[in-house]
Structures are given as structure tokens and as C-alpha cells.
Structure 1
Amino acid sequence: MSVNAVTHLNFRGDARAALAFYQSVFDGQLTVVTYKDAGNVQDPAEADQVMWGQVTADNGFRVMAYDVPSGEPWDRGENAFFLSLRGDTAEEVTAYWDGLTEGATVLQPLRPAQWAPLYGMLRDRFGVTWVVDVAVAYPAG
């Protein structure tokens, strides 16, 4: 038996656009279920918003997202979470970085760091902060 954890991002009306953007960067399959699809429309103006969505890619990338209904509290927050993206090679990481930088604010340019061959941090156009690096083995502590 195995288990995995998948980052689930919460938006207010931007989930479909965010998922489509992440699919454009990482490839994979996009799945979207709207509130209308699920028969769970509370506000007709939100019927086509995402009740559940995900991107799954053969390279192991997974992310889920939904649009928080207007009747529920939601705040993007400050530093509530980071999404960590680790790849095996500089080429792989650089390609994803290049895709994610579209419309992003670079907080730390992608470059060598003391702890990784490449490391960078950005806030994408949807307000999600990504920590991107090349994975290295660390001794057990």
C-alpha cells in the first residue's frame, strides 16, 4: 500500500486558468469538474467555476485546485504555503522555471546555491509561490 500527498490550491474564480497554465508548463492531463457538472450550483454565476480539478503528468507532477464559492471565506493570505518543485537535472528544472516565469514575479533568480546546483523562487501570476531546485541527496540526520 502507498500514499501520496498532492498540493491542493484554492482560488476565487481563477482555478481553471491556473490549472490550464500549469498543464502548459508540465504537460499532462487536465481534468476539470464544474459545480454545474457535479449538480452542486449554489450561485448561478459560479456554475462554470471549478469544483474539483487537477493536472497529472507522466513525469510525476500533480496539482489539484478549486474555486472557493463566494459564500465561503477565502483569502489568498501571505506566505500561507510554498509549492516546492524539485527535478533531477538542471535542464529539467530550467525548462519548468522558464514556463512558470510567464507573468511571474521572480523573488530569487534561478541560480546555483550552497545547497543545490540550481535554486530559485517566484510568485506566479496566480499568486502561488514556487520554490524550484535541482534535488540533491542529503545525509540522514
Structure 2
Amino acid sequence: MKVVANIDFDGDCREAFTTYAKILGGEIRAMISNRDMPEMAEGVPEDRLDRIVHAWIDIGDQALMGQDMQDFSGRKGYSVTVSADSVDQARAIFNALSEGGDVLMAFEPQSWSQGFGMTMDRFGVAWVIDSPAAG
């Protein structure tokens, strides 16, 4: 069994997932827009045809899905957590996701971790970045 988080966007899913694939070393498996499915896009306004209806990134043995919502109502009550293999990897991911966003908790050592931080990326997605336990 695999449990996969699915993130809603307001028209910037393609850009976000391209960015996430680069930062997290993932491979985009799917990036399907309304325009790619003409049989289902009937009645979709022209300015929404390039919105993503299904995006999928494989990241190691994990995955992340997303889509642009036709009636996006924002995000509340969730975050995506990355448990990195090293403190250097965690710091690099944290710094890349923080670019253009808002740091919610600075990346620094904690009693349980060599490095831990929280950030809201430029797409409005909350991320928790953790590294291996402190020695």
C-alpha cells in the first residue's frame, strides 16, 4: 500500500510540480491538463484549459500528486513533510523551498534532529523539513 498526498493549486500546479521535481530529485510521471483531455474539457473556459487536472511526481519510493482546482478555496490544516537522509540534504531542500516564500520556523538543530525547519513556499504550500536524529 502507498498513501500519497494530493495538493490543490489555483493555476500554478505545473510550475509548482516542476519546481518540486527539481528540488526533491523527483521524476514527473504525469502532468495532464484540461486541454490534454478534449473529451472531458467541453465547457471549460479557454483561460482554464491549461490548468492541470492530474500531476504525479515519483520521489524515490514515495509520490506526490496535485491539480489545479476550478474553484480554489485555499489551503488549511496540512503540510508536506520531507525526512531527508542528511542534514545537508535537508538544509538544501529547506533553502530551495523557502525561496520566494515565508520561513515559518528557521532551519536549525533541535533535540530530536540535526536540522529541522518549517516554511511556506512561494505557491502557498507548507513544508516541514527534517533531518536524521541528533547524535
Identical amino acids, percent of aligned pairs: 25
Retained in 2: the 8 A contact 1:26–1:61?
Answer: no
Q: Tell me the CA shift for residue 9 of structure 1.
A: 0.3
Q: Secondary structure at the match of 1:23?
A: helix
Taking the aligned partners of 1:104 and 1:61, their CA distance within structure 2 comes to 24
State the match for 1:67 in structure 2.
68
Taking the aligned partners of 1:77 and 1:29, their CA distance within structure 2 comes to 25
State the match for 2:34 in structure 1.
35
State the match for 1:111 in structure 2.
108
Retained in 1: the 8 A contact 2:87–2:132?
Answer: no
Q: Tell me the CA shift for residue 77 of structure 1.
A: 3.4
Q: Secondary structure at the match of 1:16?
A: helix
State the match for 1:50 in structure 2.
52
Taking the aligned partners of 1:111 and 1:61, their CA distance within structure 2 comes to 25
Taking the aligned partners of 2:106 and 2:100, their CA distance within structure 1 comes to 15
Paired letter, 1:51: V
Aligned residues: 130
Taking the aligned partners of 1:118 and 1:12, their CA distance within structure 2 comes to 31
TM-score by length of structure 1 reads 0.83
Distance 1:21 1:37, change over 3 A: same
Taking the aligned partners of 1:17 and 1:101, their CA distance within structure 2 comes to 15
Q: Does 1:4 align with 2:27?
A: no
Q: Secondary structure at the match of 1:48?
A: coil
State the match for 1:26 in structure 2.
24
Pairwise CA RMSD: 1.8
Q: Which runs of 5+ in 2 are unaligned?
A: none
Q: Which runs of 5+ in 1 are unaligned?
A: 137-141
- Poorly superposed stretches of 4+, deviation over 3 Å: none
Q: Does 1:133 align with 2:130?
A: yes
Taking the aligned partners of 1:132 and 1:28, their CA distance within structure 2 comes to 16
TM-score by length of structure 2 reads 0.86
Paired letter, 1:103: G
